[in-house]
Structure 1
Amino acid sequence: MLPGSLQAILDAAAAPSDARHSAIVYCEGNFARIDGKTANGLVRNSERYRILSVIDSTLSGEDAGVALGEAAVGIPIVAGLGDALAAADALPDFLIFGLAPLSGLMSEADRAVVLAAVAAGVGVVSGLHEFLADDPEISAAAQASGVTLHDIRRPRPTKDLRMFDGAIGGVDCVRIAVLGTDGAIGKRTTSTLLTQALNDAGIHTVMVGTGQTGLMQGAAYGVALDAIPAQFGVGELEGAVVAAYEGEHPDVIVIEGQGALSHPAYLSSTVVLRASRPQAVIMQHAPARRMLSDYPAVPMPSPLSELKLIELFGKTRVIGLAINHEDMTREEVAAAIARYAGELGIPATDALWHDPAALVAMVTAAFPALKARQPLAMA
């Protein structure tokens, strides 16, 4: 038997290297909260970045997974940028701006952290509506430090944007949109879990992202929909769905939703429905949420009213409900699942707390032909 130290060296050498960029995530005061949804999502899943730590002084010392109410993930939450850099084995490749405020803009405190990261030689990834590369001070600092700025929401030049042309009609596979009753309610999380669960079940599935977090996580296809000029939104998303179909030839394409069709301020769900023409929708709802997340004077719609609106506007069908368990116990979630299954006549589940096989069952019940794609042991 080899000595323990030698065995550890050999094991490390044999282990596959992680080719992802290393990153720390800035989410001061908002991790595990609604405006921290970008950071929350990156902790749960990130194909593009290896997350080293999360910056949020209000939760310093906790494990990021535990702070989300889930299993420990080995990603520490630290108090500031200095702590994050000190805890890293090497200089991180990027600081990711993990906040998603309603305004889409940085505060002065946020800006100071970004400038400090750049001065330390760390690139910055941002999903904000204000583009870092267009900011004279930040851009000059990045050039002086030789680091890269990535503005995830920046659309292509207008001359390159795509108009809707009906090519979606040639996409001959199942298309499922994940829509919801509010913004920041878990549509991207459910889209990611659904895509993974279907692939694990032997059903070749590709996700098309429509927001900055999904693109940061590593979605190979998609657009930051809310940054596209209205005239081109449907065409750009149609193009992303067509590209996913032509590039992967999947059995299923899952399209991440944005906002809510009934939402008074967000129009993105209309674009998702028009561009992707989904044959089915899985709807996300937070039973304990009484008012819209960014509009506390506006009551939440009922799942039934949203279902009817989606089916009428989108000429599609809602095949399942996914529960967001914020401010709920497991007993309350179980009761909500039973209640909504009865009221709506569709299956319901909690995508994070329950077996992902329930998501697969929603899809195969609606599209029985997909069962033939599953291995016999799983069918």
Structure 2
Amino acid sequence: MREDRNVTRLVTPASTVASGPHQRAVPSPVRPPPVDKCSRRATAIVYCEGNFGAVDGKTANGLVRHSERYEILSVIDSEKAGRDAGEVLGDPANGIPVLASLDEAIADGGHAPAFLIFGMAPSSGMLSPVERRLMLDAMGRGISIVNGLHEFLNDDAEFAAAAEAHQVSILDVRRPRAKKNLRMFTGRISTVTCPRIAVLGTDGAIGKRTTATILTAALNAAGIKAVLIGTGQTSLIQGARYGVALDAIPCQFCSGELESTVVEAFKREHPDVIIIEGQGALSHPAYLTSTFIMRGAQPNAVILQHAPARRFLCDFPNIAMPTVASEIHLIQTFAETKVIGLTLNHEHMTDAAVTEAIAKYERGLGLPVTDALTRPASRLVDMVLGGFPQLAGRPILGAA
């Protein structure tokens, strides 16, 4: 049976992109796109001009930290050119250079990559004129495009013509399936008998996906089979096997699409636990995605992500951040669930300040608190085991 492309998005070279209602059939390129021979991942450059390491650069930030689908060769951001991408993010050096231009990126890699990934997530969801020119320039060099914006480039006559002329593909990651194929909520979520944990936040662009990714990996390493459900474009670009870009789905179908995705992951993978990536915040006045996550996935538990040093909502400088206590109260009032832990985003904080914040919130909330990026991943596992002690008896994967 064919896997639905909203659930599993396997990126293929331009010559093998299937035609369909939303993908343009293209002839085979003159040369096959470069692929990393060890991992068999397609090579990619990430474009993030002026935003790498910042809030609007969250797609690029995430890909530099984790990408199962693409071998990231470099990041384009002239403002941070010459630095190591890992160090820009406050992580250890990872050998991915930040370069000033597409010309420099191609020269550094020794060849044109298979893909150029648009690595920003602006609130407008649209390309600027400068960004359009850059994308078209890349296509003229035989580079396919990965686009995570709300603007679908396959629908743009200029981009469609360029794709055909230069024998490249455009992957509009956020495009949903045809309306006639969208799924309504049915209640089948009740057949998912393993724990479902949503990683929610007190704001958008606060690290929910990063924490969910680290948590999933840590649980699997501890012998607890975990499956991640992606709910945004970045997790799909990174290679999440199961997921749907919820903010591109008509509201009537959001709960049903997520429910169907969770049910499918449960039936296929037989996991011990399912982790659901959060979006926005339940309290956020501009984003409603968290409500659909709570209704469609019906998580048994929530891990809440918060940035203690952030004073105002991202992109809304006149709206103060909610308190952790108020967000927990809202979550537990809105749905029949429990918050089992708090994770911190350490932006604008020293390590000493993180340690102090962890102690403060643990005292005040009576919950385990950690920072997924700077503290041992085992703390995340302990957080889950504290909420679901029945998982502690699982055999270690690979044990004799």
TM-score by length of 1: 0.94
Q: For the residues of structure 2 that align with 1:314 and 1:259, how far apart are their CA atoms?
A: 17
Residue 77 (structure 1) aligned to one of 85, 88, 98: 98
Residue in 2 aligned with 1:357? 378
What does residue 346 of structure 1 align with?
367
Q: What does residue 12 of structure 2 align with?
A: none
1:337 corresponds in structure 2 to 358
Deviation at 1:131, TM superposition (A): 0.4
1:374 Cα offset (Å): 4.5
- Once residues 292 and 396 of structure 2 are traced to their aligned partners in structure 1, the CA distance between those partners, rounded to angstroms, is 35
Shift of 1:80: 0.6
What secondary structure does 2:229 align onto? strand
Query: Shift in Å at residue 138 of structure 1?
Result: 1.0
User: Aligned-pair distance for 1:89?
Assistant: 2.8
**1:131 pairs with one of 152, 162, 186:** 152
On the 8 A contact 2:282/2:290 being kept in 1, the answer is yes
SS at match of 1:325: coil
**2:83 aligned with 1:55:** no
Question: What CA deviation, in whole Å up to 9, does each residue of 1:293-318 have, x standing for no partner?
Answer: 11110000000000010011021000
- Of the three residues 122, 145, 169, the one matched with 1:101 is 122
Letter in 2 for 1:322: T
Q: 2:222 aligns with which of 194, 201, 217?
A: 201
* Higher helix fraction (1 or 2): 1
Counterpart CA distance in 2 for 1:101 and 1:91 is: 26
Asked if 1:259 is matched to 2:276, the reply is no
Return the alpha-carbon distance in structure 1 between the equivalents of residues 175 and 106 of structure 2.
28
Say whether residues 1:279 and 2:262 are aligned partners.
Answer: no
Matched residue SS, 1:334? helix
Compute the displacement of 1:88 (Å).
1.2
Residue-by-residue CA offset, 1:43-82 (whole Å, 9 max, x unaligned): 0000000000000000001010001011011100000111
Match of 1:312 among 320, 325, 333: 333
Quick check: 2:197–2:274 contact (8 Å CA) kept in 1? Answer: yes
Counterpart selection for 1:190 from 172, 193, 211: 211
Take 1:197 and 1:294, find their aligned partners in 2: how far apart are those partners?
Answer: 32
Offset at residue 139 of structure 1 (A) = 1.1
Query: How many pairs are equivalent?
Result: 364
**3-state secondary structure, aligned to 1:65:** helix
Structure 2 counterpart of 1:24: 45
Question: Which amino acid in 1 is paired with 2:230?
Answer: G
* 1:143 pairs with one of 159, 164, 174: 164
- 83-92 vs 56-65, which moves further: 83-92
Q: For residues 302-342 of structure 1, what are the alpha-carbon distances to aligned partners after superposition, in whole Å with 9 as ceiling and x for unaligned?
A: 00000010011021000000000000000001111111111
TM-score (norm 2): 0.90
Counterpart Cα distance in 2 of 1:341 and 1:365: 14
Runs (4+) of structure 1 exceeding 4 A deviation are: none
Query: How far apart in 1 are the matches of 2:133 and 2:215?
Result: 38
Deviations 1:66-114 (A, max 9, x none): 0101101110000011111111133200000001000101111111110
Q: Counterpart amino acid of 2:274? A: I
SS in 2 for 1:82: helix
Give the AA of the match of 1:287: P
Q: Which residue of structure 2 lines up, in the alignment, with residue 235 of structure 1?
A: 256
Secondary structure at 1:202 match in 2:
coil
CA distance in 2, matches of 1:375, 1:93: 38
8 Å contact from structure 2 (residues 224, 396) kept in 1: no
Shift of 1:16: 6.9
